[in-house]
Structure 1
Amino acid sequence: MQPAARPWRLSPRHALAEGEQQVWIGFGGQADQPWLRLLRPGFRHCFAAIRDRQGWSLVEPLSGRLLVSRAGVAAEFDLPAFYRRAGLSVVGPFRPGPPAGDGWLPNISLYSCVQLCRAVLGAGAPWAFTPHGLYQALVNEKENRKKILDASLPVG
């Protein structure tokens, strides 16, 4: 008699190796819905592009739907540069952090492109409510990290 089949679960030993994924967050968007006109032009939407050894995955939160797809380009393709040439603002790369959820209560938030991008970034993601707020927080975080790295380099 065979043992009962167990559903496969992701365990820490199956998790990706450190540094194996890189995340870029892209910003852009037109006001295709009336309420989006309240947001800053060029920062009305955000999405995540994730690179691993197999290639690029795109996580695109749409109104009422989540689109996750694999880009038909090689892992070496510079997708962030392609988006920048298309007129989008792109920040990255970031390493995804550990999942959030170390409290007694579940993390409850509205479904939005910003919250989804924060979830992709993990527990260390900066808090933001709008795409432009997330952009500013990520740019500031990247600049602060660069200043710390530059200060630790030997002079001369």
Structure 2
Amino acid sequence: MAPRHALAEGVQQVWIGFGGRADRAWLRLLRPGFRHCFAVVEDARGWTVIEPLSGRLLVARPDLVPGFDLPGFYRRAGLTVLGPFQPGPPACGWLPELSPYSCVSLCRALLGEGAPFAVTPHGLYRRLEKYSYDRKKVIDTASLRA
């Protein structure tokens, strides 16, 4: 029987990028360098960039040479990038429907059920950075909820 989606095959890896300037006044309340987050997903076919922007969602499959280091490109551009993470199973339950749409909620959804709770990009960064030091980068339910 074929897997339901690519996550079932375990072939995807997710990197979360942080950065952003205050293009809207309310963003100035957030920590500089952590006013926005986005995700890049690598699979057997290449890269997918998932960029939640104000008022729309950008999803792109850039045409890059095989082996291109997209997270490294973002780091060289001055952004902070964490990963790779292997996404866990999809989150189930009532909480995702009640949480507002934001760049943080979208990145948490891509990480799956065990993604750490965070409201701001810097909060997500702190939780994922702490998790990265453990060297276990498979997101599961028990690992980040503590």
Look up the match of 1:36. 27
Q: 5+ residue gaps in structure 1?
A: 1-10, 147-156
Aligned-residue offset at 1:144:
2.2
Q: CA RMSD in A?
A: 1.7
Give the Cα separation in 1 of the matches to 2:89 and 2:127: 19
Look up the match of 1:3. none
Query: So what's the TM-score if we normalise by structure 2?
Result: 0.86
Contact 1:26 1:46 in 2 (8 A): yes
Look up the match of 2:112. 122
Aligned-pair identity (%): 64
Look up the match of 2:126. 136
Give the Cα separation in 2 of the matches to 1:74 and 1:92: 21
Q: Trace 1:22-101 onto structure 2 (pairs within 5 A).
A: 22-101=13-92
Look up the match of 2:143. none
Aligned-residue offset at 1:71:
1.4
The total of aligned residue pairs comes to 134
Aligned-residue offset at 1:12:
7.2
Deviations 1:82-113 (A, max 9, x none): 10000000000001111111x3x352210100
Contact 2:38 2:52 in 1 (8 A): yes
Q: 1:75 to 1:99 in 2, by over 3 A?
A: farther
* DSSP-derived class of the 1:74 partner: coil
Counterpart residue identity of residue 67, structure 2: E
Q: 5+ residue gaps in structure 2?
A: 137-146
Give the Cα separation in 2 of the matches to 1:37 and 1:61: 18
Aligned-residue offset at 1:145:
3.4
Counterpart residue identity of residue 127, structure 1: F
In terms of Rg, which structure is larger? 1
Query: So what's the TM-score if we normalise by structure 1?
Result: 0.80
| Superposition misfits of 4+ residues, deviation over 3 angstroms | none
